[in-house]
Amino acid sequence: MSAVLLETVQLRVGVPRRQLIDGFDCSIRAGEFIALLGGNGTGKSLLLRTLAGLRAPAGGSVRLDGRDIDSLARRDIATKLGFLPQDPDATPQGSLTENVALGRFPHLGLLQMTDESDSQRVAQALADVGLETLAQRELSTLSGGEQRRAAIARLLVQAPSIYLLDEPTNHLDPAQQLGILERLRGLTRQGAAVIASLHDPNLALRFADRACLLSGGGDADPAFHQSTGAAAHHHARHLPFVSFGLYLGAVFAVAAATAWRALNRPIPTKGVTRVPDRDRPLPV
């Protein structure tokens, strides 16, 4: 069995006056691709930030290689764990190559500069995300999708053993989504672990080994978001991982019920001008 790279113990995540995840126990092993699924506001982004050590948990702990992540220096964390936020934290500046090369910073010593091997890593990462022809472009001149791929390239250059990605397919067209997720899947075959939040269950079904469904009181699918409060917390605590068949079945059931209601809703006639029958001549 593969080694456990990241582990949560009775983890609690929430916002003021609202608990989203309660008592969450999870072991993430080398070679795994885990998809985080759930509606808006169910805590996917908060969970990823907590796993990255960027946000203190409301309770419980996160362990990186068996050690409490709060006890580790940020540089030590960055050599083992990489995080892709949902949106960029700052206005992009500098060239594409310069920005992607920043991923090597955790591996450099004091006053150490990047060398030829680092440059080769940058070139390979740009090729992996299809941006090699834009290497010298200013990052601010790139489209949203190109900037997203640049951020992923910087993460590839960082080369951690754990990749945490908050909606990595943001701003990407369908072909690019498949390409990026296939590249991430390739990282797991090299021994890395990938945890990514996704909104499309079809992508999760295609690329992930396991799915973690969050139902923490936000706008989750009705089939899973049965209630807020203790019932939702109980659900998140005891059923964190669900089968894709169950998830997809619930999604299709909700879609079918919505379509049925729409088809059987009475059509209002008050204030509506009747369209003449096709076989009758139009009035002159």
Q: Tell me which CATH homologous superfamily contains domain 4-92+161-257.
A: P-loop containing nucleotide triphosphate hydrolases (3.40.50.300)
Spatial separation of the C-alpha atoms in residues 224 and 215, rounded to whole Å: 6
Across the range 200-216, mean pLDDT stands at 90
As given in the structure block, the two tokens for residue 42 are: 């169910």
Q: How confident is the model at residue 206 (pLDDT cuts 50, 70, 90)?
A: very high
- Which amino acid appears at position 187 of this protein? L
Across the range 105-121, mean pLDDT stands at 87
How many C-beta neighbours within 10 Å does residue 143 have? 9
Taking the alpha carbons at both ends of the chain, their separation in whole angstroms is 81
Beta-strand pair 4-15/59-64: antiparallel
Note the pLDDT tens digit of each residue in 137-192: 999 999 999 999 999 999 999 999 999 999 999 999 999 999 999 999 999 999 99
- Which amino acid appears at position 121 of this protein? R
Give the up-direction half-sphere exposure of residue 221: CA atoms within 13 A in the CB hemisphere.
21
- Only one residue has tokens 């640049």, namely 150
> Could you tell me the strand order of the sheet in which 4-15 lies?
18-29, 4-15, 59-64, 67-68
Tell me, yes or no, if the pTM score tops 0.95: no
Residue 217 Rama label (left phi>0; alpha psi -120 to 50; beta): left
pLDDT of residue 224: 31
As given in the structure block, the two tokens for residue 28 are: 């993430």
Listed residue (95, 157, 151) closest to 122, CA to CA: 157
- Which amino acid appears at position 226 of this protein? Q
Spatial separation of the C-alpha atoms in residues 230 and 279, rounded to whole Å: 61
Note the pLDDT tens digit of each residue in 53-112: 999 999 999 999 999 999 999 999 999 999 999 987 677 789 999 999 999 999 987 777
Spatial separation of the C-alpha atoms in residues 45 and 191, rounded to whole Å: 24
Find the helix packing angle between 174-189 and 144-158, rounded to 10°. Answer: 10
- Which amino acid appears at position 28 of this protein? I
